[in-house]
Structure 1
Amino acid sequence: MNNQSNNQYRKLDEVSTQYRKFSKGQYIEHTQFNEFLDFFEDQDRLSRVMLQGVGIVCGLKPVLIYKNRLLSSMKLSQGAAVTTDGDLLTLNDAGKAGEDPYVSNLKTIDLQNKDYTHFKKYDNFKAQYPAFKKDDGSQIELWELISAQEAGSGDLPISDLPALDDKYLLLYLESYEKEVKPCRGVDCDNHGVQQIRNLKVLAATKSGIDHILKKDKIRPHALFIKDILEAEKQERVILERLLLEQGDETEFYSFHIKNLYSNALENSGYGASLFKKINAISQFMGLPAVDHEKFTSLLEQFLVQYTGFQYAYDLLKDLTDTYSEIIKVLPKSFTLSFPDLESFPKHVMLGKLGSDIRLDEYRHRFYNSPVLDDEKETLQVKVLLTRFAQQVQNFKYSELQKGGGIKITPSRKLNPLGRKAVPFYYQVTPEFLKVWNFNKTAHRSSCENLAYDISMLSSAAHIQNPVNFNTDKNTFYNIEGHQGMSRDEAYDQLKELRDRHQLGFDIMLLSFGELRGNKDLFKAYFNEYVEKHPGLEHKRGVERGGTFVMVYEHNGSDTSIIADFSIPYICCTPKIDAGLSLPASVICADAGPIPFTVLPVGGVVKAAVDSERNGVVLTGGKYFFDPKELDESLHGQSIAFTVNGKPTSCRIKVIAQPDIDVKVDYVFYPEGNSGATTVVMLVSGENFKDYSYSWDFLDNGSFVTLSPDNEGRLKYTLYNVNPARLPTIKVKVESSGCTQEVAIRDWYKESTQLSLPVAEICSDSKPVAFTVSPAGGIVEAGAGAGVQFENGKYTFNPARVDKSLHGHLITFTVNGQPTNCRIKVITKPEINVEVKTVDYPVNGSSSTTVHFLVSGTGFRNYSYSWDFLENGNFTAMQPDGSGNLSYTFNNLDRSKIPVIKVKISNGNCIQEITINNTWYNPPAAPSVVINSIGFPSGNCCEGTVENKVTAFVERDDVTIYLSSSELFELKGWASGAEKFDYSWFQTYSSTGYSLPIAASNTENLVIYQSLRPGIYEFQFMAIDINSGAFDTKKVKVSIYS
């Protein structure tokens, strides 16, 4: 609890974690009430410090005001600050004085700023704030600034404040306790310890403020390191200086260019200043330093290599770019997850008096709680510092790594570095990828960076082959893997990649030696080209719309690429229009070759497809397009072409030759006096719906356009067909100029007819005979069996038809030709009907109810008619879903019990069932047989025997469901005697059925077998063994299915 703390100036040293609720009529000790106040005050302070932050929130900026060149006041703007003890500080003025002398006066905070015109020496003897005490116990030198309204007669004007250049401002909350009134006698109403809170503006000296900062673990920050926010600049390598310093007639070699880069690195001390700043920031962030000496040694060894020396310069440039990202985020990285509570518990520093420095290291900033920004900026600074170290560690390029081939990787022209593709001279590891782009790592997509080495990247196509996808955001192309290659190999590989992916940049080759008789427009003399294009600069690639320049050197008979540069414009191969055309834009796959028209004459024609079988053939010095030489996977695609690597507008599409099957499915021949013959065509084949069809049914050269339906069928009716002069049906199948021709002959067969005497037949009916034309024709069923041939005739036997075909139309053919003959087999019902139970008349009733159970496969699908009275009149009644049906007879004559008849119909198929009158079997009337009578000794009639026996049963009405129980138990007992004989027996049954009783002479009766639905009655009897007195009880038992 706060009031128990030894450090009364700091409330959060010990916090209250619980309090008591007060009860009605309770006497409250002051400790209990203070505990209540302490708990909520502690929670309020903790909420500010842990969930919002500490330091200066806004305002509280001092300005010195001069009049006549003399300091007249110090104006401090209104603002807000939070101490590490959770105090909320804001400027205030005296408000209206309270009428009660024991209640504190109120303050107002409604002010824009406050002017301090006077000062006095400040003594902290009341609060004894530890931050102001020196090691020997004395107080540091402090001055209190006072407004004109609060100034006393002994206070001095602020113009007399000594050594103004050595003054630093503090906003201090003076906190101490003061006894208001001693408690005497019983009157303690106004007794209490007043908590004094005075807000002071203090000035301290440099030595004093440094003493205060010794305990401040929050304020130190990398932002206050000298010149830390000044970006590091790298010296440019200007190629034209070679010509200016040594003359344009000098013959240059690779070492001249290498010296330019080596000198630039040496002039920067190999980044010594950069490493010094990085290591200073790393120390504040708790990260290890990066060894600059090892880095320098690495670059010096690297510069010895014949090629690749430009990448040493690139590495230092990358490191400089990383530092630029760091200092951009650094000013925002003030998030603290758990502020040190001792740093400034009752004060905040406002900065040096009269200073206009924007980043004043003697002014507290606001240190956010992580809940406000999730420590994103602080974490980003740490990730960038780790990237810096990884860049130095993973720089692995050497001449031994050559041979991986040239790659073009889309990238960004401008910083930040993390948005660019990873340069190929870094060893790509999962750890390296996680620090390359902070935002991608934050979204768990670090493997979606672009790089030369794709082995560690996502397998997604747009990451593995980024040049195949939209590059609108990537306006720069990293070109890597060419240095050290021979001139021709590098040029051919790079040109092929550029042309294949249709990328917008030009390529030039520069030779150190003069080119004699050179006719290649992509080659130039180094000296001349540099003089004409002074903007050449190494960028490890080229921007879109620029020219990538490779410099090569003769090394004996070899020519090696030793450096590369770029300029931001196309230069200087002459612009020659490339023209290409074909006589058709669509061609059939089976067509012959067609010639190209090429401009310029002699231009090289290539198809812009990734296939060796691309259709372009060179025959006799001329280019042709042969559709037979095109891979089938490219059919249906628009194929583009280039001339001399330049794209053209020439396009062609190869359409596969139709391969469709057309035949006569069946023919409907003329019947009666009709002369109409209807032919049904069947079209099949892959994608047959995509073609157009022209038909010549009359064989007269006149075609009509008709399309088959979705199943490929098409009907056409011809009239008065003469079988002796049968027309050949001709079909043209067309698609985009490709035509397939089909001719169908001998499609007309002899007319066939078939009929049956019925359209529906019961499954148990006798066979019916077919009428067949022509005589001797072979009859077959379209599906299933049923057709039989006996004694030279075809008949249909429904018994031979599988039940799965019942209810379906069965079709037939004669001599393989379809006919209009149809028949449907109806299933004969096979149903069982039985009397389940009978409710006989009871208690004077004249009603007899019969309960039937209908069962059998598909019994719900049939119709039922009942003759209950044996009078020939049938009544339609359907059983329920479980097959139950009931009928009630009134005044049934037991001497004339009717026979019950049922007709079960499925269409014309009828099953008849007869239930004999034996269904009526009422129970016999109960009878009692007395085997013996025993009397007690003595004369039973001389006196009256008092009957004190009382029988009891557990329940007098019991209900049983066979679905949940297959037994029941009846319990009985008696009182009024010492010993009893017990017995149970059945007295009634609604069905006439007697339930078997295994043992009846017992208190409890259990019946567990042969249970049947019905209403039953049992009687329980208890007999006094000594007197013979007895009592009985009845139990009704209802059993349901």
Structure 2
Amino acid sequence: MKNRLSNISTQYRKFSKGQYIEDPDQFNEFLDFFEDQDRLSRVLLQGVGIVCGLKHELIYKNRILSGVQLSQGAAITTDGDLLTLNSTSEVSKDLYMSDLKTVAIENKKYTCFKTYDNFKIKYPAFYDKDQQIELWELATDEEAKSDFQPVSNLTNLEDKYLLLYLEDYEKEVKPCRGVDCDNHGIQQIRNLKVLVTTSKGITDLLGEYRLVYDPLSNTYKPGVKDAIQPHPLFIDGIMEPVKQERIILERFVSKTSLTVSDLKNLYIKAVEKNNYGKIVFERIEAIGKILGIPVAGYAAFKEAFVNIFNQDSGFQYAYDVVKDLMDTYAEIAELLPKAFTKAFPDFVSFPKHIMLGKLVSDKQLDSLRHQFYNSPALDSDKATQRVKVLINRFNQQVQNFNYGNIFENKGRIKITPSQKLNPLSNKAIPFYYRITEGFLKVWNFDKTGNRSFSNNLNFNTDWVPIGLEKESPLNLTLDDYSFYNIEGHQGMNYQTAFEEIKQIKEKHQLGFDIMLLSLEELKDNKDLSKAYFNEYVEKNSGLEHKHGVGKGGTFIMVYDPLNSQNVIADFSLPYICCTPKAVVKLSLPASVICAESSRIPFTVFPMNGTVKANVDTKLNGGVEIINGLYFFNPKLVSPELQGQEITFTVNGMPTTCSIKVISQPDIQISVGSVYYPEGVSPATIVNFTITGANFADYIYSWDFLDNGSFVTLKPDKDGNVSYTYYNLSPTKIPTIKVKVNGNGCTQDILIRGWYDAPVKLSLPTSVICSESSPVDFTVFPVDGIVKASAGDGVKFTNGKYSFDPRSVDPGLHGQVITFTVNGVSTSCNITVITQPAVNVSVKSVDYPNGDPTEATVNFIVSGPYFQNYTYSVAGSADLLKPDTDGNMSYTVKNLDPKGNPTINMLVSNGGCTQTIRIGNWYKPPTVVINSIKFPKGNCCDGNLSTVKAEVTEENKNVDLNDGAFILEGKGYGPSDLEYSWFQVDSDTGSKLILDVSNQPSVRVTGLRDYGNYIFQFMVIDPASGAFDTKTVKVLIFGYD
């Protein structure tokens, strides 16, 4: 068996008229090219694997297997075959034509089976060396033959797997007998089979990188490995969540004061419990093997923790970095179900088969069922690419975790805007990582994609670019940030750290509070910004180390007053607690507002207070912050809250401020019907239909004339309203305005385009000459506005429309011009035919044999489009046709030598004609001079003027490829000399083209043949007739 995409046709030949084709390969080459392109389009631009459906279900009757039902679906093999279930819809009546199939089926039930032998095709994937794997073919009742047996006899179902297989081969050609064999080509067989195999057979199908026996060539070849099917999603337990253990301080608080070691041990035990994130390394390493990406080593990463845990501060960051790695893994795991993109699938992975999975399986995701591996063209989320970038980010996190930064940056406090919730890529980069360009490029996939990876905020970000300016991140709007990273304070004196953070907070008006907790009990403490650790934790639940604090939260620093008095740890609360109680105030300019009204501002005290609505977290209470100012936006309020009173808090404290959002009318008004004027009636009746929830409860004010005057009309119980216009002009159709009012909330509705009266238009002719007089239109309605699809032929004079063909641009002649009335298309059309306007003059007259009774008149025709017309002479049925240069001849017989005949010529362009009268052309011959020779030099005796001719070159060589050349001469004698050049002879018979001019030099063109040419230059004095001549020989040469 040969896969179609193993050798791809890249070209084909077109057939030419009269071509005799004996070799059928030319036809096959044509078919192969387009079939290969079709297959490549499927595989490379769409994908391979199971697109949809093709799910099996075991059917039991009396607990005995009675059939295997397979649903309709679609799948694409790596050879580009599109597989769907089908059934015969029409049996072929021709022996050499296949039956017609239909795919309009929901499923097929297979009730029989037999052992399957692949001897016809020898499909390599079915062979382990020279031995075929175990295979059984399933068939429906209709398809089964005598060698099939009931499917109930199929044993060991737990070890069976389903396959969809396309038998694809050429049927042997039998000798033709007694009939014409020209129409009997080689039949291409394509039989879709549903097969069953064992687990060993499936293993052989997937294969390994090894030499595999090819029964066709009787050789071993590099082998059938399904390089597409392996996927990280099929790794056992890969989707199970990996979480860092949460440290809940309340469990460890006792009456005894905690020490620095006690706190440190909490974090040491947490990271040791998950072995410093070892499971994350193992899982990402397994994913990396499949994707071909190396993963950073675990051992070196673990060693770094020894130095961190030997310090009295900074140990919380060891916990943080392990959590970071787990967050990265969580992002990877979330993307795996979507990461089935294959940029260039291996064509030999499953060229003619599709794995449908285990016959008896309770798994939602079967690793032995082909998924759909889509092309990058269909991967708008770029899931696979994101997974690869996240693995590289994991490597960068491990390799760039620099515990030295924790101690080197001690005393340099930075507050960086960040995010409270995952994903990690949206957060600011923690300061314990070494920042490199490579690290920035993998931190956030989207920013790298739009080339803004350098904008990832981190500890070293002192400014961000704003146009051509630079600005601190804290000076910009913080609407997009919900968290603040606070770094550099651990290891500092707690008072110094407190004051510096407070100073930054107040300078930038940041929405959080600060608290200090002592590990030792405080005696006579009156500083409300300090508290005893054990008491504070017991009273305020929810303390967690977050590497900073969220908006509206409390940042807490823990210090040891007995030893260094340095900050040893930090925590945060999601609420403000518990510095001196501040007075909070909040107000809005209204207590009731419509749902579609514009936002209104809050008045907040303190000015940097955080405003929140007291609503369910799943709902939106309408609070909006813009440039640091709070607003209430009714358009953001969840529909469930409309009609209810919404209250608010400032810094978590309740206020008396409240507001109610009233639902906006949501009414639709449509024009149901329009009755236009008939006969002498001037009335136009418009019927409206009003729909919408509770439409009868609203008040409707109508402005029918679009002049600002409103009238109130109430719809009936079915929502109908009617209005009558009188003497309505179709050219001035008003826009109908309706104001819908309910409980103070209004809705404005505009009704346009409701007038669509029928129009009629006609002309007395559909074809007209370009110089004809105007023709009048018949227009309905009478005051309708007529416009043409092209040209300026439509004229409006004295209240009537007419069509003037003389105003139509010649470029539109011959085209069909259509018309509209009031912008509505009509069936009226007209075609303007060009009126001939040519000149016909007599160029010369020939008298054959000197007979004056017969003359051949040679005309020259000129004028625009002269070749588009036909020419005839009055009294003759013959049609004349000028050539491209306007030359045309006509022979006149039976002439009277004493007469002065006139030729009347009719020029026609369809029905448009021009008559030309040609006279004074007849000059019968009287004397015939057979030849005349001029003497060389001046021709005549006597006292004539002396004329002398000279040429620049008597012998000249010209390259044929030049296409033209110049002959140059000079004349001496009187001042009014005349010059002429002409060709005398050539050995090729070719006649070259000389520019006609009374100049001593001439340009020669029309070079076509090599050879010798002779030209004569003549200088003549027109007053005396004296002349002189010179001859020039020209050799035209060239190279093939």
Letter of the 2:533 counterpart: F
1:426 maps to 433
2:974 match: 984
User: Pick from 247, 252, 255: which aligns with 1:237?
Assistant: 247
Shift of 1:564: 0.5
Letter in 1 for 2:240: E
> Is 1:232–1:274's contact at 8 Å kept on the other side of the alignment?
yes
Out of 544, 557, 575, which is 1:550 matched to? 557
C-alpha change, 1:104 and 1:251, in structure 2 (3 Å) is same
Give the drift of 1:578.
9.5
1:505 and 2:493 are equivalent in the alignment: no
- Report the secondary structure of 1:55's partner residue: strand
Instruction: Give CA deviations for 1:896-935 in whole Å, capped at 9, x if unaligned.
Output: xxxxxxxxxxxxxxxxxxxxxxxxxxxxxxxxxxxxxxxx
Q: Deviations over 1:258-299 (max 9, x none)?
A: 000000111101111111001111111211122111111112
TM-score where L is the length of structure 2 = 0.55
- 1:491 paired to 2:498: yes
Structure 2 partner of 1:116: 110
1:562 lines up with 2:568 in the alignment = yes
Letter in 2 for 1:109: V
Find the partner of 2:384 among 371, 378, 396.
378
Cα distance, 1:230 vs structure 2 = 1.4
Counterpart pick for 2:176 among 170, 173, 183: 183
From the superposition, tell whether residues 954 and 38 of structure 1 become closer, same or farther in structure 2 (CA, over 3 Å). Answer: farther
Cα shift at 1:181: 3.4
- For residue 525 of structure 1, report the CA deviation from its aligned partner: 0.8
Contact 2:284/2:329, CA 8 A, preserved across alignment: yes
AA in 2 matched with 1:421: A
In the superposition, relative to structure 1, how do residues 948 and 9 fare at CA in structure 2: closer, same or farther (>3 Å)? farther
Q: Note the residue ranges of structure 1 that are not aligned, 5 or more in a row.
A: 1-7, 580-604, 609-637, 639-644, 646-943, 956-968, 974-981, 989-1002, 1007-1018, 1024-1028, 1035-1041
Partner in structure 2 of residue 305 of structure 1: 311
AA partner of residue 536 (structure 2) = Y
Q: Does 1:161 align with 2:154?
A: yes
Q: 1:227 to 1:948 in 2, by over 3 A?
A: farther
User: What do the CA deviations read for 1:219-276 (whole angstroms, capped 9, x no partner)?
Assistant: 1111111111112111111212222xxxx22122111000000001111011111110
3-state DSSP of counterpart to 2:249:
coil
- Distance of 1:20 and 1:550 partners within structure 2: 81
Higher mean displacement: 294-303 or 257-266? 294-303
Aligned with residue 18 of structure 1, among 6, 11, 15: 11
Q: Which amino acid aligns with 2:356?
A: L
Is the Cα contact below 8 Å between 1:178 and 1:196 reproduced in 2? Answer: yes
Residue number in structure 2 paired with 1:293: 299
Q: Secondary structure at the match of 1:984?
A: coil
Q: Deviation string for 1:477-528 (max 9, x for gaps)?
A: 1111111110110111111111222222221111111111111011111111
- Write the distance in 1 (CA, Å) between the matches of 2:584 and 2:190: 87
8 Å CA contact 1:985–1:1020 kept in 2: the answer is: no
Residue identity matched to 2:575: Y
Counting only pairs closer than 5 Å after superposition, residues 733-748 of structure 1 correspond to structure 2 as none
Partner of 1:219: 229
Paired with 1:175 and 1:950, the residues of 2 have a C-alpha distance of 98
For 1:528 and 1:462, the matched residues in 2 are separated by 48
The amino acid across from 2:580 in the alignment is P
Distance 1:970 1:109 in 2: 83
- The match for 1:335 is 341
User: Match of 2:1026?
Assistant: 1031
C-alpha deviation, 1:428, in angstroms:
1.6
Q: Give the 3 Å change call, closer, same or farther, for CA 345–510 of structure 1 in structure 2.
A: same
Corresponding letter in the other structure for 1:308 = G
Q: Which amino acid aligns with 1:381?
A: V
SS at 1:179 equivalent? coil
Q: Which amino acid aligns with 1:196?
A: I
Distance 1:527 1:252 in 2: 8
Secondary structure of 1:452's aligned partner: coil
Residue 134 (structure 2) aligned to one of 135, 141, 155: 141
Structure 2 residue corresponding to 1:252, chosen from 251, 254, 258: 258
Counterpart contact for 1:181–1:191, Cα < 8 Å: no
Stretch moving more, 409-418 or 373-382: 373-382
Q: CA deviation at 1:375?
A: 8.1
The DSSP-based 3-state class of the residue aligned with 1:537 is: coil
Hey, what does 1:326 align to over in structure 2?
332
Are the counterparts in 2 of residues 179 and 192 from structure 1 also a CA contact under 8 Å? no
Aligned counterparts of 1:495 and 1:25: Cα–Cα separation in 2: 94
1:416 aligns with 2:426: no
Q: CA RMSD, aligned part only?
A: 3.5
Aligned twin of 2:522: 515
Residue pairs, 1:932-951, within 5 angstroms: none
> Is it true that 1:356 corresponds to 2:384 in the alignment?
no
Aligned with residue 274 of structure 2, among 253, 268, 274: 268
**Equivalent residue letter for 2:514:** I
Q: Which has the larger radius of gyration?
A: 1
Offset at residue 382 of structure 1 (A)? 0.9
Matches within 5 A, 1:659-738: none
Question: What's the counterpart of residue 31 of structure 2?
Answer: 37
C-alpha distance 301-1005 of structure 1, shift in aligned 2 (>3 A): closer
CA contact (8 A) 1:122 1:143 kept: yes
CA contact (8 A) 1:132 1:140 kept: yes
Aligned to 1:524: 531
Contact 1:984–1:1005 (8 Å) recurs in 2: no
For residue 185 of structure 1, report the CA deviation from its aligned partner: 7.8
Checking the alignment, whether the CA contact within 8 Å between 1:59 and 1:79 is kept in structure 2 is yes
Counterpart Cα distance in 1 of 2:559 and 2:575: 21
Gap change, CA 1:948 and 1:38, over 3 Å in 2: farther
Aligned position for 1:58: 52
Q: Distance in 2 between matches of 1:354 and 1:288?
A: 36
User: Which residue is 1:778 aligned to?
Assistant: none
CA gap 1:288/1:459 in 2 versus in 1, 3 angstroms: farther
Give aligned-pair identity as a percent.
Answer: 56
Counterpart of 1:690?
Answer: none
Deviation at residue 1021 of structure 1 after TM alignment: 6.2
Moved more, 546-555 or 25-34: 25-34
Distance 1:463 1:94 in 2: 73
1:682-706 Cα deviation digits (max 9, x unpaired): xxxxxxxxxxxxxxxxxxxxxxxxx
Q: Secondary structure at the match of 1:240?
A: helix
Question: Counterparts in 2 of 1:768-847, with a 5 A limit?
Answer: none
1:852-880 C-alpha deviation (Å, 9 max, x unpaired): xxxxxxxxxxxxxxxxxxxxxxxxxxxxx
CA deviation vs aligned residue, 1:698-736 (integer Å, no higher than 9, x gap) = xxxxxxxxxxxxxxxxxxxxxxxxxxxxxxxxxxxxxxx
Q: 1:482 to 1:1033 in 2, by over 3 A?
A: same
Name the amino acid aligned to 2:973. Answer: S
Residues 1:47 and 2:41 aligned together:
yes
Judged with a 3 Å threshold, the aligned counterparts in structure 2 of structure 1 residues 459 and 576 are, in CA distance, closer, same or farther, namely: closer
1:917 corresponds to which residue?
none
The 8 Å contact of residues 522 and 531 in structure 2, kept in 1 or not, is answered as: yes
Partner of 1:201: helix, strand, or coil? strand
Alignment pair present for 1:278 and 2:284: yes
What is the one-letter code of the residue matched to 1:188?
C
> Does the 8 Å CA contact 2:296/2:399 hold for their aligned counterparts?
no
Deviation at 1:205, TM superposition (A): 0.2
Q: Alpha-carbon deviations, 1:433-482, whole Å to 9, x = none?
A: 11111111111111112222116965779985222222122111111111
* Structure 1 pair 464–145 and aligned structure 2 pair: CA distance change class (3 A): farther
Question: How much has 1:82 moved relative to structure 2?
Answer: 0.8
Kindly indicate whether the alpha-carbon contact (under 8 Å) linking 2:1019 and 2:1028 is maintained by their aligned counterparts in 1: yes
TM-score of the superposed pair, with normalisation by structure 1: 0.55
Separation of aligned partners in 1, 2:950 and 2:116: 98
